[in-house]
Amino acid sequence: MKTAACVAAGGAIGTLARYAVALVLGAPESGAFPSATFTANAAGCLLIGLLGGLLANRPLPEALREFLSTGFLGGFTTLSAFGVETVRLAADGYAAMAFAYAAASAAAGLVAASAGYALAKAVFRNAREDAA
């Protein structure tokens, strides 16, 4: 039950953080690149990569791990908005923008997650070398 409460709390905070990104960046005009969802998803991929690299070196208590991953980052990122924005762009006659958005989102997500993971691994490698 404690872990479920942590997931719920993290999800609420992550969802509010994503909403804040949307407020700051605004809703896209018709046919425009959905920058708020793109930004939230790319940032979330960077953060989950960092968390993955951290967890590969240092386990966290289950409740904290689930608060951060399933809760906060699950609430912050949004595959469903990405999907509907891509479909809407294509349906409204902006197929090139839909393709560009889908390709850029996939590429940015993979690059960001890889960068986050590599950064966390490098930090831990340097910390181990300094301790030796």
Q: What is the pLDDT along the chain (132 residues), one digit of tens a residue?
A: 899 999 999 999 999 999 999 999 998 888 999 999 999 999 999 999 999 999 998 899 999 999 999 999 999 999 999 999 999 999 999 999 999 999 999 999 999 999 999 999 999 887 777 776
Count of helices and strands (H, E) across the chain: 6, 0
Residue 78, domain extent: 2-131
Q: How many domains does the chain have?
A: 1
Q: What is the pTM of this model?
A: 0.91
Tell me the binding residues.
Answer: 74, 77
Contact predicate 36/21, CB 8 Å? yes
Give every CB contact of residue 117 below 8 A, 6+ residues apart in sequence: 49, 50, 52, 53, 56
Distance of alpha carbon 53 from alpha carbon 30, whole angstroms: 38
Tell me the binding residues for Na(+).
Answer: 74, 77
Cα-based distances in Å from 65 to 29, 101, 116? 37, 31, 16
Cα-based distances in Å from 132 to 53, 56, 122, 128? 21, 20, 15, 6
